Amino acid sequence: MKKVNKKIVLSIATIAVVASAFSAGVMAKATLEKIQAFKDNGVSFKVNGKAWVPQDAKGKKISPIRYNDTLFVPVAAIGKATGFSYKYDNKTQTVELSGPTSGGSSTASATPTPSPKVTPAPVEYANPSMLTVDMFIENYNKAKEVYAPVINRNDFTLGNYPKASTKIYDYKYIPLDSKTRIVFAAFTDPETGELGQVNPNIQGPYTKEIMRSFLSGMLGGPENADEFIQKNSFYTEINRADVATPKEFSYKSYKIKHYRVSGQLNFDALSIYTAAPPQE
């Protein structure tokens, strides 16, 4: 017989051809058929461009069997090389291949499964019809602009206003730099704790951003704030000619009043309150 010396290149797609024969243990005699085949010791293998030597379970080199011009390699060896798991059911005489699995020694790369696109959960804001100071702070901080400061609950001080019919919480904060300042008060019902009015005085270069954050906190989120701003051309109106004269705007059950104090202090005053009469 003429000696054959060839290199066989295997890939995942050729498993079905190369693994046509296998070591199946003891099979029923009725299914066995005697053939004449040859062990071919001159064949070398590559798996995805890398040299590979088929081995048995004990790590001993296996030479392929050549029969009718076809090479046969044990399924177990092919599975180990490509990452396919191999199982033989002796009772049913069935070979099962699964994979490729992450535990195999395969140099073949399986096509990665794309990760499902995750849609972030929508941000929920407290209902503006039943706000408390804590709810307002939470709404404000969720929606705050980049240049607006974080508001902390422990920075509020219950003011001493003996004649007031509501609880008035004062808050003072100087964010970012010495030119930007917020001073505001929150008015709540003494019995229910519901927030009825917020009065911020804003000084500095980030007036619009801070105003939008306050409106978001009071009106129930940035969508409501933006709707109010657009419908009332609010950013244009805060630079109106008679800006020192208070101007009132409406949004749902809320009233928004704005004016500017010019001079040494130079700040924008905003009052956001329910339809009930505002506090003086």
| Ranges 85-89, 122-126, 225-229, 250-254, most confident | 225-229
Exposure on the CB side of residue 47, measured as CA atoms within 13 A: 18
The pLDDT tens digits of the residues spanning 33-86 come to 777 777 777 777 777 778 878 887 777 787 887 777 787 788 777 777 777 777
More confident residue, 116 or 103: 116
Edge-to-edge order in the sheet of strand 247-251: 156-158, 167-173, 181-188, 195-203, 267-274, 254-261, 247-251
Compute the C-alpha angle 143/144/147, nearest 5°. 155
Residue 112 pLDDT grade (very low, low, confident, very high; cuts 50, 70, 90): low
Q: Say if CB 210 and CB 148 are below 8 A apart.
A: yes
Residue 183 pLDDT grade (very low, low, confident, very high; cuts 50, 70, 90): very high
214 φ, ψ to 5°?
-65, -45
Question: What is d(CA 19, CA 74) in angstroms, rounded to the nearest whole number?
Answer: 6
- Give the residue-averaged pLDDT of 103-129: 71
Residue 147 has pLDDT above 60, yes or no: yes
Residue 19 pLDDT grade (very low, low, confident, very high; cuts 50, 70, 90): very low
Residue 238, C-beta contacts closer than 8 angstroms, at least 6 positions apart: 207, 208, 211, 258, 260, 268
